[in-house]
Structure 1
Amino acid sequence: MSFVIRAATASDLQHLYEMAKRTGGGFTNLPPDRKALGTKLGRSAAAFDRTEEAVGDDLFVFVLENTETGEVRGTCQIFSAVGLKWPFYSYRIGALTQHSEELGRTFRADILNLSTDLEGASEVGGLFLHPGERAGGLGLLIARSRYLFMRAHRSRFADRTLAELRGVIDEAGGSPFWDGVAGRFFGMNFQDADEFNAKFGNQFIADLMPKHPVYIAMLSDHARSVIGVPHPSGRAAMRMLEEEGFAWENYIDIFDGGPTMTVRTDQIHSIREAKDAQVIAISDELGEHRRGEKRLLATGKLAGFRTAYGWTEPSGDGIAIDRQSARALGVEPGQSVTHVARW
């Protein structure tokens, strides 16, 4: 069975909608709303069509396709720069230390500060893999394809990249963090706020969110306990981000308190370690239980970009690849591919 990552098109709307209904809430980049998803696909098409080699307000949407059946089984997104259209808000966890001579004691208070520090950074997000395909390294294929696309179009992305992980959501679909902080000021529950943000952006946060610091000690135990904690389904994603070089630097999502991970773009493992090579041969002798090394392969630009797993071996001044991956990528001898080791 062969899978390929490719640019999403308008014909993928129904596939994306079906996947969005499976996310379980708190998944802002993949809302279960046809109009919002259609808008995303339109914006993505414009981004793939834009040829200027500079950072812009681009959104790129990709899908994971089973090349044998044509079914779409996963998706991911890249934002070239956040905060260009409206402010990009995070909470930054800071501290205030005070000393009392009379008591002879020093007090340290942890504080949530509303911040736009991460404006201008690129963002990877919107990753979803169909539950029936969560094996065989397909999650890694989707995640790492984004970095290979960024490498292939480096001038269109910022020097810093972030990833927001979904925070803890309870069984009723609510957020303990939202209930303990922002929900007190907005008069709306988490589900409504999350849906509104997914459809219309978070400018309403700028309009209504109080700008003064929030003392963490004043929050409920439940709200405090989920600060910087990823949703259970996101722990594997957090580990993958850490493998790529992302780190948590005390930024959290303003809605659910989930961790926001950051990294210098050029230090992303898949970008730093990837190499370009000419395809010298396409071999039927490469593959599982045969010979060769299984690696991530990528080729093409913009809407023609594709990524897949493939079996490779050195060949002269380039590499040989297996026939199945060559077919999935649309690659022939003489063309160039980007390749990086599979973890």
Structure 2
Amino acid sequence: MLIIRPITAADFAALKQIAIESGHGFTSLPVHDERLWQKIHHAEASFAADIESPGDQGYLFVLEDTSNGEIVGTTGIEAAVGLHTPLYHFQQNTVIHHSAELNVLNQLKTLTLCNDYTGASEICTLFLRESYRRNHAGRFLSKVRFLFMAEHPQRFAEKVIAEMRGATNDRGEPPFWGWLQQLFLTIEFPEADKLIGVGKKSFIAELMPRHPIYVGLLPAAAQQVIGQVHENTKPALKMLEKEGFKHRGYIDLFDAGPTVEANLTDIRSVASSRKVPVKIVEVLGESTLAVANTELKEFRASFGKQASFDETSGELLLSPAFAAALQLQDGQFARFINLDQR
């Protein structure tokens, strides 16, 4: 059985291995011991905190295969981004150049450095080991965050964002990066990637262009990938779009991948999740349900057909093994969604 739970200090080695496997471009998990320890300790403190509004909290979960004890994935939520370390994006705009005398009207696209998403919650740090990318595991890893947010809405902002990885070339480098490096940063992409991953972002404010950039002046290769996602990220983007996330024109500074957004209460899995009492009984349902308990530090979630909602009684029927894995007893409440609904 695959179980989601809050990360602990005992998961450090597994988290570092995930950071290694995730590769360049996955800046939320750098291969940097001190930074990884900071993330774990920060997550532990966040789950333990008694708060009524979102602040500098980060909730990091791990996916454990209970059959062998291995950690096979991770997923996370930042409660409010940009409060201490600025979160920068390029915003896409259109400016009009008009000459009545010449009867010329030009609509030109621009990119402007901004930090408009300050204070928004961010779903992030999603990684699933390749051998487990089957049987709803990826969908569960993404959607389980919405179960947690639905149960603890006071911990999150009304606006939720997700930064999607941008397109890369055959060498794994973003075509968008080339012009930026040549004109402004003069450091290699892996170095910039590493600096961002360990939280050293001051160089962005110091070196990035402060005035709007005309997109038409960029190399064709850079223009073509603006707002485009990495091939491996397309399924994740499609899933978020079905949840109600939309691209409003904000892109990543370095790979030009889109940042998508949605209001928390409008996210499909948040709005459609149901909180009901549990009844423990042998059961084999027709649908695959994602089920979570209502705890914080002891949050547990899993998915499968050993769960079924009884419309007549209004109870969530769970098999004994499923209930035990989620630390649930008869009469306690659980929150669930149907993973088969697309």
C-alpha distance in structure 2 between counterparts of 1:274 and 1:20, whole Å = 31
Give 1:198's aligned residue. 197
Q: Which amino acid aligns with 1:312?
A: S
Q: 1:231 to 1:10 in 2, by over 3 A?
A: same
Contact 1:26 1:169 in 2 (8 A): no
Give 2:37's aligned residue. 38
Give 1:299's aligned residue. 293
Give 2:49's aligned residue. 50
Contact 1:183 1:189 in 2 (8 A): no
C-alpha distance in structure 1 between counterparts of 2:182 and 2:42, whole Å = 31
DSSP-derived class of the 2:22 partner:
coil
| Structure-to-structure mapping, 1:96-115, within 5 angstroms | 96-115=95-114
List per-residue Cα deviations over 1:137-184 (Å, max 9, x = no partner): 111111111111111111110010000001112232322112123552
Contact 1:67 1:328 in 2 (8 A): no
Contact 2:57 2:78 in 1 (8 A): yes
2:69 aligned with 1:75, yes or no?
Answer: no
2:242 aligned with 1:243, yes or no?
Answer: yes
Q: Which amino acid aligns with 1:90?
A: H
More off after superposition, 97-106 vs 314-323: 314-323
Contact 2:181 2:187 in 1 (8 A): no
Q: 1:13 to 1:321 in 2, by over 3 A?
A: same
TM-score by length of 2: 0.95
More off after superposition, 307-316 vs 215-224: 307-316
Q: 1:183 to 1:309 in 2, by over 3 A?
A: farther
Quote how far apart the aligned CAs of 1:323 are.
2.7
| Structure-to-structure mapping, 1:309-324, within 5 angstroms | 309-310=303-304, 311-314=307-310, 316-324=313-321
| Structure-to-structure mapping, 1:130-141, within 5 angstroms | 130-141=129-140
Give 1:121's aligned residue. 120
Contact 2:181 2:188 in 1 (8 A): no
Q: Which amino acid aligns with 1:18?
A: Q
2:256 aligned with 1:257, yes or no?
Answer: yes
Q: Which amino acid aligns with 1:329?
A: L
DSSP-derived class of the 1:302 partner:
coil
| Structure-to-structure mapping, 1:204-215, within 5 angstroms | 204-215=203-214
Give 2:59's aligned residue. 60
Question: What number of residue pairs does the alignment pair up?
Answer: 337
Quote how far apart the aligned CAs of 1:317 are.
4.0
C-alpha distance in structure 1 between counterparts of 2:287 and 2:235, whole Å = 24
Q: Which amino acid aligns with 2:122?
A: E
Query: Could you list the runs of 5+ residues in structure 1 that have no partner in the other structure?
Result: none
C-alpha distance in structure 2 between counterparts of 1:173 and 1:190, whole Å = 10
DSSP-derived class of the 1:148 partner:
helix
Q: 1:330 aligns with which of 312, 321, 327?
A: 327
Give 1:3's aligned residue. 2
C-alpha distance in structure 2 between counterparts of 1:326 and 1:227, whole Å = 46
Contact 2:294 2:335 in 1 (8 A): no
Quote how far apart the aligned CAs of 1:101 are.
2.5
Q: Which amino acid aligns with 2:320?
A: R
C-alpha distance in structure 1 between counterparts of 2:299 and 2:141, whole Å = 13
TM-score by length of 1: 0.95
Over the matched positions of the two proteins, sequence identity in percent amounts to: 34
DSSP-derived class of the 1:171 partner:
coil
Quote how far apart the aligned CAs of 1:53 are.
1.8
C-alpha distance in structure 2 between counterparts of 1:123 and 1:203, whole Å = 21
Quote how far apart the aligned CAs of 1:99 are.
1.1
Quote how far apart the aligned CAs of 1:32 are.
1.9
Q: Which amino acid aligns with 2:208?
A: M
Q: Which amino acid aligns with 1:340?
A: I
C-alpha distance in structure 2 between counterparts of 1:201 and 1:332, whole Å = 46
Find runs of 4+ consecutive structure 1 residues off by over 4 angstroms.
none
Give 1:270's aligned residue. 269
Contact 1:10 1:41 in 2 (8 A): yes
Q: 1:183 to 1:339 in 2, by over 3 A?
A: farther
Query: Could you list the runs of 5+ residues in structure 2 that have no partner in the other structure?
Result: none
Give 1:283's aligned residue. 281
More off after superposition, 155-164 vs 96-105: 96-105
C-alpha distance in structure 1 between counterparts of 2:84 and 2:182, whole Å = 24
List per-residue Cα deviations over 1:19-48 (Å, max 9, x = no partner): 111223111111122221111111111111
Contact 1:181 1:219 in 2 (8 A): no
Q: Which amino acid aligns with 2:324?
A: R
